[in-house]
Amino acid sequence: MKVPHKAHVALVDGERFVLLRNDGQIFEPKLSKVAEPDLNATNFSAGVKHQDTASQMSGNTDLNELAHGAAAAEWLNSKAIAGEFEELVVIADPKTLGEMRRHYHVELEKRLVGELDKALTHEPLDRIEKVLANA
C-alpha cells in the first residue's frame, strides 16, 4: 500500500486509538507515534441500528467498541476539518472500520489515501510497517 511521506496512520480497534506518522518513503514506511488520544465514547446509538439479529443473539456486537470507533472517527473528522493533516491511512478491525466509515466527514474522506481492515493496534511498529508495505 502506498503510504505517502508524512501521511498519518490511524490504528483503531474497539478499545485503543493510536495516531502514527510515516517518516519513511511511500513504499517503505517508517512509523513514529504521534498521539494516543483518550477518547470519550458517547455515541452509543451508533451501532444499534447496524446490529444483525445473529450478532445480537450471540452477543458478538459490543456497543462500547462501536462507540469507540465512532469517537475515533469524530476525532479524526475534527483534525481533518482543522487541516491538521493532509493524508491519512486508517487501519482497523473490520467491525470498527465499518462503524468508522459511517461517521467520516467529507473533509476526512478527501484526505483518506487508504484503509486496511486488520486488527494491528497491539502489534509493534516494525510489524505494522511490514503489513503496510505488503498490502
Q: Give pLDDT tens digits for 36-85.
A: 998 876 655 544 455 555 555 555 557 778 888 999 999 999 999 999 99
Q: Could you read off the pLDDT of 95-134 as tens digits, one per residue?
A: 999 999 999 999 999 999 999 999 999 999 999 999 999 9
What is the reported pTM?
Answer: 0.86
Q: Check: CB of residue 44 under 8 Å from CB of residue 26.
A: no
Q: What is the pLDDT of residue 42?
A: 63
Assigned domain for 3 exists: no
Residue at 102: amino acid letter:
R
Q: What is the pLDDT of residue 117?
A: 96
Q: What is the pLDDT of residue 64?
A: 78
Assigned domain for 2 exists: no
Give me the sign of the Cα torsion angle 57, 118, 81, 125: positive
* CATH code for position 114: 3.30.420
Assigned domain for 59 exists: yes
β-strands 112-116, 8-12 pairing: unpaired
In whole angstroms, give the CA distance from residue 39 to residue 46.
15
Sheet holding 8-12, edge to edge: 31-35, 17-22, 8-12, 88-92, 112-116
Domain range enclosing 114: 8-134
